[in-house]
Structures are given as C-alpha cells and as structure tokens.
Amino acid sequence: MTNDRHALIIANDRYADQGLKQLKAPAQDAAALAGVLHDPQIGDFDVDVLRNAPADAMRRRVQGFFNDRRRDDTLLLHFSCHGLKSESGELYFAASDTEPRLLDATAIPAQFVRGCMSRTRAGRTVLFLDCCYGGAFSRGSPSVRATGDVNVLESFTRDRPPGGRGWAVITASNSMEFAFEGDALAENSAPRPSVFTHAVVEGLATGEADLDADGEVSLDDLYDYVYEHVQEQNPNQTPSKTVEMQGELQLAHSRRGRIKIAALPSPPSLLAAVNSDNAFTRQGAVLELRSRLQNESLPLAEGARQALEDVARNDIRQIADEACRALRDIRLAPSPDLLDFGLVPKGSPLQERSVSMNGPPLARHCVAQPAQSWLRVEPTANGFTVRVDTTAEGHLSGDIALKGVADEAVVHVEAVVGPSLDTQPPDTTDTQPPDTTAGPANGTVHDPDTVVVAPSDPHEDDTSAPTSGVRPPDDNRADPDRTGPHGKSTEQGSGGQDRTEETQESDPAQTTGRTPLAARRPAALAGAALALAATAVVTVILGIRAVVVAALDRGGDGPTGNVEDNIHEQGALPLLTVAVITAAVALVAGALARHDLERRRERHASSAANGTRSMTSVAKGLAVPALVLAVLTLVAYLITAPHW
C-alpha cells in the first residue's frame, strides 16, 4: 500500500429526524467503493470509512483527513448521504443527528468542506458527491422543504486552491435533479447501490473506465464513463464535474488487460514501396513487412503489423490477401487450449498445468485474464501456468481470456473437486495454498487475476530474470513491450518449464484426470471414418478384380457361357456391395466428426483438432473414389449382364 494516496468514505443511511427519509444505498456504496479503492491492484488507496456518524464526529474526521498532509499526497473524499439546502440557498450534508431546522448546528456545511480542501497541503484532492439535493425527503414532511435548487458546483468553485494545488469535484447530479437509488426513490425496494456510485465501482473494478486503454484510469476517463453509464440507466440524472488541476490525475490502475506497444515506424524507403504505383513493388514491400513481423523487437514488429493492416484494408485483392496471410502468422496460438484437471481432492494444493504460446514474439505477447476467481495464472518463459483452487467442491468450468495486440483467444479449463482423500484434518502448514496475492521479496505486488505473458528476451542474462515475472517500473527502461496493464514492466525468466508431467508424477490425484467424452468423440469418429474408408478401398479393389476375372472366364466359355454364373462364382457382387456401404458410412462418420468439432470448438485442443481434421480429410479422399468406382462397376454390370 502506498503512503501518499488516502480516501475517506462517509456514508449515512439512518437519520434520527423523521423528516429525512432513510436511504438504502449508502451502506452498499461504502463497502463496494472501499473495496476497489483499497485494492492494491486497482486504487491502491489507504481507505477509511465513516458510517452513520453525528455531525460533530463528521467534522472532526473531515478536518483530520485534510490536516497534516504533504505535497505528494492525493486525497479522495466521498459523500453518500442527503444533501440539504438552507433558506439562504447554501448546501449542507446531512449527518445521522441532523435537524433540518438547525442545519448550522447539526449538519456539515459545504463551505466547511471547501475550506478544509483549500487549506490542505495535499497536492491533489478529489471530492465525490452522491447526494440528493432537495428531493430525497419524505413527501409531505413539515420539517423539510424541498423547494428551490442549490447549485452544487458553485459551492466549491468560489475559492481557487492556493499554491498551485489541484482539486476536482464530481457530483451524481446537477442542481435541479435527484440522485437516484436504483431506478426509483422507493420505500420498500431492496438495498442496492446508487446509480452513480455503482458506475464508479464498476468502472474501476472491471477497468472499463480506462477509455483510452493506457493501463490507467484517469479522472477524465472515470467521469466520462460514469456520465454515459448514469445517463443510460437514468436519463433524468446528469453527473457534473469541475476541475482546477494541472496535469492528469490517475485514479486507479486498469484491469482490462489490453496490450499496447509503441510501434516503431517502418523505414521511409519501405513505406514508399508500400505506397508505390507499381503492384509488384507493393507486393515486395508486403514480403519485407512479413519478415519484420517476425522480429524479436516488439516495437519493430508492431510497426510492421500496423502497416500490413493498412495494406489489407486498402490495396487490391491479390496484395491485400498476401497481407492477410502475413497477419495470420501472429494470431494467438495457445497449446493446449483445453485443460482438463480431472478429479482432484478438495483442499489439496493448487493443481497446476502449463500452456505454451506459439508463434513469433508478437504472437506470444499477450495478457491472460481468468474469468473465474478459482483460476490462477502465472507467467513463464514460454507461456503461463494455470492453477486451480480446490477449496470448494463441485464441477469447475471456466475460461482464461488471452488478449494480444490484434487478436484474442480463450483457454478453457475443466476440473472436478471431490471429497478429500485424507480422513485426517489437513495440515495447514503443508497444504495451505500459496498466497498468490503476495509479491516477491522486493516488495512488488503481483496481480493473481491478470498477467502479462511476454516473450523471453534472448539478449537477457538468464540469471537476472525475476522468477515472479513482474517487477516495478524503471524510468530508465522505456521498452514498451514490457509494459503491463498497470504500468509495470514484466520479464519472463528462461528457467520456466512445462511442469505438467512433473506435477502428474508428484501428485497421484492428478493421474485420475481423463479427457472428457465430448473431447474424445470427434477423434473417435474420425478414426472410425478413416478405417472404414480404407476398408472400402480394399474391398472395391477386390470387387473390381473379381469382375475382371469373371469377364475373362466368360470369354473363354464361348457361346454357352453365362456372365452371371461367373460373377457369382468370383463373389464380385458382395464385395462391391460392402464397398458401397463402408464408403458411405465412412463419409457419414467423417461429417459427424467435423460437425462435432466445429460445434464444440472451445472444448478441443488445437493439436487434437488439427489431427481430427487431417483424418477426416484422408478418409474423405479414400471413401469418395471407392464409392464412385463401386457404384459405376455395379451399374455397368446391371446394364451389360443381359447381353453376355
């Protein structure tokens, strides 16, 4: 946890005064927002939460929050409560003991908060206001008047921050609107986060607020995301923003898992060849770009990729197709793309499998992000390892999304966690799963949910590569291909190995895993199709040979001969009939195998899928000629037999 980012969340949903309606959202708002802000992989804030406090306690906590700060500090203050307007039009924040008739004594004036913000030594201050201004009160209450408006932002723009310090205020609604809880201000609805705070939490937690995909969620990114989200949910609520700040404030890290590489432009001579009027010159430029696409330097390869994409979009068909074929070289190719852990005992150590990334360096550089919390991913030199948490029984089925610079892929994971094989209580000192959230000895924190899979650097000294695959950013190393979604540089050591075989030998529970029937069925059908096709070929050859022998015997019998007798004697008809049937069945089995393979594509490893396709292709190539020859021979016999 950093010591220069601090957040205070104030949430009041219970009020002593009967004129103030009890709110449902603040409790959920406080818990959800505190979670994402405190997460070291997202907000990395030191978070303090104050709920349902009286006015005196709120004043003390707010003033203490802003006091004794340093210029490098970033402060975030969040209010989720009622907003009240005095007769003179000033804004107040309601405390648990607020009396609307005594706002100066029992509520928190916006002027008090503004004064604390202006006096703090902190370099940057952000204020979130998720409050109802004049509307979230019990209807008909004689103690509260909700008429008139209060301009919220004007309450905080009268004084500019001294000494070049910056601040920002983002409100859930403007001066003429209500801040809605869910879709209505209903008395009996279930507790749910407010529209505004829910958008803030969702944008930070998922990383969707990282609109420019630079790995960081800035203040502007978050406001734009929240504005669109709130407007989609409730067009009657319009978030507002005012900012007095130099530079850009990064509120959180992004967990979207996008890969961005600063492209190194291609040489001017190569770009001139790409734009040449001569088609042969452009075709030669595509070949050169394809060669650069395989380069170990990711910025150079990325520059070639972008140039090839431009050619694929704008050039003539022949050259565009050549560029498309070159771009297919950098598609993500995980091997295997289906991991089946089989049956594993509950509470056993984390089960592990390895996945290798194939292709050139640009195809091996990606982000791996599990969709389920029981999956763990760790980078290795050649790809990544996948671990399964065995703390809960049941059938586990999930995916790991891989995202590269221009392609996406999925690794499907299956496991069945059964009862523990050990009748004694597990020894936590031996079987306790490793803490995947803890960082290496140098103090860095590793994100268990999202990892950057980077190709190993052949120029890197093997002994200098950190085993964790993640290290803090180094300002002197501006290599964009080592930059992860959180701005951290990543390296893979050269000592990573495929531990699948090793793990299976050391853990008997893993040897019980079997490939599921759905994954084996296409291969079985393809094998049967190939065997039937081969049988059909052999049978049709024997049948045709028998027909030829029968025809020769008929010629030797003279006028008294009968070809039907010779055909039956040689057994040609049964052989040809068997050939027709086996060839037809082979074609049907091959078609079923291909259909099952395409319908359940995500369940099959790429190597197994390629083998299945190869077998079905060979089976088809054998069965079709055998079927045609057998049918033609039978037809010829039926036509010519009466004349012999």
Residue identified by tokens 């004594």 is 105
Query: What percent of the chain has pLDDT above 90?
Result: 18
Contact yes or no for 528/590 (Cβ under 8 A): no
Token pair belonging to 65: 């929050």
For residue 606, the model assigns a pLDDT of: 59
Query: What percent of the chain has pLDDT above 70?
Result: 71
Q: Indicate the range of 41-45, 134-138, 262-266 predicted with least confidence.
A: 134-138
Q: What is the mean pLDDT of the chain?
A: 75
Where do the structural domains in the chain lie, given as residue ranges? 5-253, 268-330, 336-512, 517-643
Question: What is the β-pairing status of strands 91-94 and 451-453?
Answer: unpaired
Q: Indicate the range of 8-22, 165-179, 242-256, 437-451 predicted with least confidence.
A: 437-451
Contact yes or no for 499/354 (Cβ under 8 A): yes
Residue identified by tokens 């989609």 is 232
For residue 256, the model assigns a pLDDT of: 61
Q: Is the pLDDT of residue 597 over 60?
A: yes
Q: Is the pLDDT of residue 309 over 70?
A: yes
- List 11's β-bridge partners, or say none: 51, 80
Q: What is the DSSP string of 480-536?
A: GGGB-TTS-EE---TT----HHHHHHH-GGGGG----HHHHHHHHHHHHHHHHHHHH
Element (H, E) at 295: none
For residue 178, the model assigns a pLDDT of: 52
Give the pLDDT band of residue 20 (cuts 50, 70, 90): confident
Cα–Cα dist 304/281, whole Å: 16
Q: Specify the CATH number of the domain 5-253.
A: 3.40.50.1460
Give the pLDDT band of residue 127 (cuts 50, 70, 90): very high
Q: Is the pLDDT of residue 53 over 90?
A: yes
pLDDT in tens, 244-256: 887 788 888 876 6
Contact yes or no for 394/417 (Cβ under 8 A): yes
Domain 5-253 shares a fold with domain 336-512 = no
Fold (topology level) of 336-512: Immunoglobulin-like (2.60.40)
Q: What is the CA radius of gyration of the chain?
A: 35
Q: Is the pLDDT of residue 428 over 50?
A: no
pLDDT in tens, 91-100: 889 999 999 8
Nearest to 83 by CA among 178, 220, 189: 178
Q: How far is CA 245 from the centre of its chain?
A: 33
Phi, psi of 411 (to 5 degrees): -110, 115
What single DSSP character describes residue 290? Answer: H
pLDDT in tens, 453-495: 777 655 444 433 333 333 334 444 344 443 443 343 333 333 3
For residue 374, the model assigns a pLDDT of: 84
pTM: 0.46
